[in-house]
Amino acid sequence: MTQTSFIPGPDTQAEMRAALGCFATGVVVVTTQTERGPLAITVNSFTSVSLTPPLVLWCPAIQSQRHDPFVKARHFSIHVMAETHMEAALHFARHGEVFDTRPWSRNDEGNPVLDDALTRLDCQHHAAHPGGDHTILVGEVLRVSQRSDLGSGLVFHQGKYGRFSD
């Protein structure tokens, strides 16, 4: 057995990323409406916070060009991606303003929403907190939509997309 240790710092960012990559996460695409039009971003920093009230959080990187519009957004929608949605997750990781490759519509708040997500959480901005090189965005869930015909959720582990297998 080989075990390594390090103290996190500017010169150990690659090691820190590799260590955190050992924790498998789900993949979500977050959408909102901006003055320029629909905007999306692929995220794996998503988690539930509270059931009463229903709160979730996700964390956009401050260096991202999509950071400010999401921090300022009054509403956003979080889409839990199915294992068959890897191409969509990759697309929205690269192209946040290009929606012509996916079927989408608008929800009651006027936000763009992906029509074929495993689960969709329509949220209202609840709070924003500094979190190092990210902002912690907390949303209050206003509405939930689920589909049972899309299989399991898409997983991100050690820098790769995949699926959970037994």
- Residues 39-63: pLDDT tens digits? 999 998 899 999 999 999 999 999 9
Closest CA to 152 of 85, 78, 104: 85
Closest CA to 58 of 40, 73, 38, 78: 78
Q: Where are the domains of the chain?
A: 21-163
Three-state DSSP class for 111? coil
89 and 160 Cβ atoms separated by less than 8 Å: no
- Give the separation between CA 47 and CA 5, rounded to whole angstroms: 27
What is the CATH number assigned to the segment(s) 21-163?
A: 2.30.110.10
- Residues 124-158: pLDDT tens digits? 999 999 999 999 999 999 999 998 887 788 877 66
What are the angstrom distances between the C-alpha of 164 and each of 22, 25, 79, 83, 154?
14, 10, 18, 9, 8
